[in-house]
Structure 1
Amino acid sequence: MLHQLYSGLGAGLYPLLVLLRPLIEAIGGRFAYGIGQRLGRYPEIASVARPGVRTVWLHASSVGEVQAAIILAHALLDTAIDVSIVVSSTTEQGHRLASSRLPAATCILAPLDLPQAVRRALRAVRPDCYLCLETELWPVMLTEVRQAGIPMLLLNGRISQRSFRRYRRIRGFLAPLLDGFRQVAVISEADRERYAALGVPAARIWVCGNLKNDMEARSPDQVRAANRRRLGVDAERVFLCGSTHEGEEEQLLEVFRALAARGPAVWVIAPRHLERLPAVAALLRRAGMAFDLFSALAAQGRRANVVVVDTMGDLADLYAGGDYVFCGGSLVDRGGHNIVEAARWGRAVYFGPHMKDFQDAADTLVQAGGGFRVADARELTALLLAHVDAPDEYATACARAADMAAGQRGAVARQAALVREVLAAR
């Protein structure tokens, strides 16, 4: 009943959006970007289906999922099976990243989850397989794909503890959608348990690890040097804080001040959500700290000792340029973020007590000696300064972080194998 109501409302909304499309495009903004494709109109691709070539539709919502999709797409394109890859995303940043990193794929904006838009998109793409990354559970899309007889796989599946509590309340609505997946590849044992609790048969769930851990740390020394050149640093110590949330920058400011008191230092802040940039800028101005935007460095060079990352998709490589790396969402209760992205470059990682969304990776990195869990900013300051005073000990921790990250790889091979099995059966 709930699904019928959702689908019916969407069907009624579609003609209104078609009618308003010229106005939306005239107004501009993020809702106007690719509005034609969001309505299921893809005249520029017609159909990507070719005789003897299987078409794989890989859906990744935003930048984070697109990074995982890039890894998987390369693995599928390298296989002996002839495949054509279509990558869809729901945001402008995700679409631009996919287009720049996957020239061999067809990159589109995903259709809005409205029956008419989804059906038009399916007619244009005509996929042999639909791959959904993480928790992109769009009811109309999944229903239409299943009814069309197109096999579906959920890959790199993860459900945070916070999301699981919400999903459990609508288990009756989600269970039929999840039942449409032939295989569900999840990141951790905790994810396996949560998907099983939501109704996925245990026999269909595979713990495969995180695709993002297969991001190759290509030429670490060269990537590190390139990022430090872009940041305009040489001997300065770089305190790089990635994926920060509201309430963390205030605490990290005091950590940076303590580090800067020991010698030349640069603070790089990468807020998790770009809409928070004005708030971060206001905080720095109140603190009397000048800053540069990362996007402006190429044109003007660095003029201040603080750099605010105002771009999407750069953080994963930027970690290589840091000396002391903190992973955000952990001093405040946001569940943390992927610490392996930094560890793969041979960077030890500091994080706060709130890492429940990435608990397995955090515990593994701590046990390996390449990660450091702190209770608060005061403890982070003390530990970071201790590492400044013991460079050999810190270098050992960085090497251990790299070893741990190398041991986490292999998810792409396992998940690509699941896709190949489905394609072979087609």
Structure 2
Amino acid sequence: GSVRNREDRILLDVYKKIVRIFPETLLIIAPRHIQRAGVIGKHVAEHGFSCQYRSDLDPGSSPRNASVVVVDTMGELMATYSIASIAFCGGSLVPLGGQNILEAAVWGIPVLFGPSMEDFLDARALLCASGGGIQVTDGRDLAEKILYYLSRPDRAAQAGRLARRAVAANSRAAEKHAGVICRILA
């Protein structure tokens, strides 16, 4: 989710490694900026994969027959995470500070992200400490971790439960902090 410039090509290289072992795996790429959907579709074709856009998969339209779906619609990232087995959160394999990894964690799936998480340090610390968030160093490491979870669904389910539990345990944190501040100021 929220894949940034250059990350889509990394993900497509990772996907090549994954489909060698798990050929039925579907890749859904949700770009941070939907204006990039067309460019990403071209990258998909350059990597030798079939591509469909999310807007072409509305009820009454053709069924999905591509190996890669590119999200070209607004407001569907959470719904996309809800059907995922594993999530990668973008803006993190390139030096852009990451994206909100908690959005994926609430769905009880393993959440993977790169080293650039400067804008979400608390979320990274929370998920990594829980065991539900997995930081990777690069595309090669990402492929290894995804293959690990695909080949060990019990471990994927466990990581997902830990991610969801970490979010649930820390929900309402802002409300709790506001209560403390109000008591101090009173």
Correspondence for 2:7 = 248
Alignment of 1:74-85 (within 5 A): none
Equivalent position SS for 1:406: helix
Deviation at 1:284, TM superposition (A): 1.5
Correspondence for 1:296 = 56
Structure 2-normalised TM-score? 0.89
Judge conservation of contact 2:28–2:69 (CA < 8 Å) in 1: yes
Q: What are the Cα deviations for residues 87-125 of structure 1, in whole angstroms up to 9, with x where unaligned?
A: xxxxxxxxxxxxxxxxxxxxxxxxxxxxxxxxxxxxxxx
Tell me, in whole angstroms, the C-alpha distance in 1 between the residues paired with 2:131 and 2:13: 25
Correspondence for 2:140 = 378
Q: Larger strand proportion, structure 1 or 2?
A: 1
Tell me, in whole angstroms, the C-alpha distance in 2 between the residues paired with 1:416 and 1:277: 40
Correspondence for 1:389 = 151
Deviation at 1:385, TM superposition (A): 1.1
Q: What are the Cα deviations for residues 15-45 of structure 1, in whole angstroms up to 9, with x where unaligned?
A: xxxxxxxxxxxxxxxxxxxxxxxxxxxxxxx
Structure 1-normalised TM-score? 0.40
Tell me, in whole angstroms, the C-alpha distance in 1 between the residues paired with 2:50 and 2:177: 46
Summarize the Cα distance change of 1:389–1:309 in structure 2 as closer, same or farther, 3 Å threshold: same
Cα RMSD of the aligned pairs, angstroms, is 1.7
1:267 aligns with 2:21: no
Aligned amino acid, residue 69 of structure 2: V
1:342 aligns with 2:101: no
Tell me, in whole angstroms, the C-alpha distance in 1 between the residues paired with 2:5 and 2:15: 17
Correspondence for 1:324 = 86
Deviation at 1:386, TM superposition (A): 1.6
Aligned amino acid, residue 151 of structure 2: D
Q: Which residues of structure 1 form unaligned runs of 5+?
A: 1-241, 418-426
Correspondence for 2:39 = 279
Q: Give the structure, 1 or 2, with the largest relative contact order (CA under 8 Å, sep 6 or more).
A: 2
Alignment of 1:16-31 (within 5 A): none
Q: What are the Cα deviations for residues 330-374 of structure 1, in whole angstroms up to 9, with x where unaligned?
A: 000110000111100101100000000001101110110001001
Equivalent position SS for 2:50: coil
Q: What are the Cα deviations for residues 286-311 of structure 1, in whole angstroms up to 9, with x where unaligned?
A: 22222111111122120211100011
Tell me, in whole angstroms, the C-alpha distance in 1 between the residues paired with 2:146 and 2:21: 11
Aligned amino acid, residue 403 of structure 1: R
Judge conservation of contact 2:112–2:133 (CA < 8 Å) in 1: yes
Tell me, in whole angstroms, the C-alpha distance in 2 between the residues paired with 1:250 and 1:322: 20
What percent of counterpart residues are identical? 39
Tell me, in whole angstroms, the C-alpha distance in 2 between the residues paired with 1:316 and 1:414: 25
Summarize the Cα distance change of 1:368–1:276 in structure 2 as closer, same or farther, 3 Å threshold: same
Correspondence for 1:125 = none
Correspondence for 1:403 = 165
Q: What are the Cα deviations for residues 396-418 of structure 1, in whole angstroms up to 9, with x where unaligned?
A: 1111011011122115746998x
Structure 1 stretch 275-284 or stretch 361-370: which is displaced more?
275-284
Following superposition, which runs of at least 4 residues in structure 1 exceed 6 angstroms of deviation?
Answer: none
Judge conservation of contact 2:109–2:156 (CA < 8 Å) in 1: no
Q: What are the Cα deviations for residues 183-230 of structure 1, in whole angstroms up to 9, with x where unaligned?
A: xxxxxxxxxxxxxxxxxxxxxxxxxxxxxxxxxxxxxxxxxxxxxxxx
Equivalent position SS for 1:403: helix
Correspondence for 1:198 = none
1:314 aligns with 2:76: yes
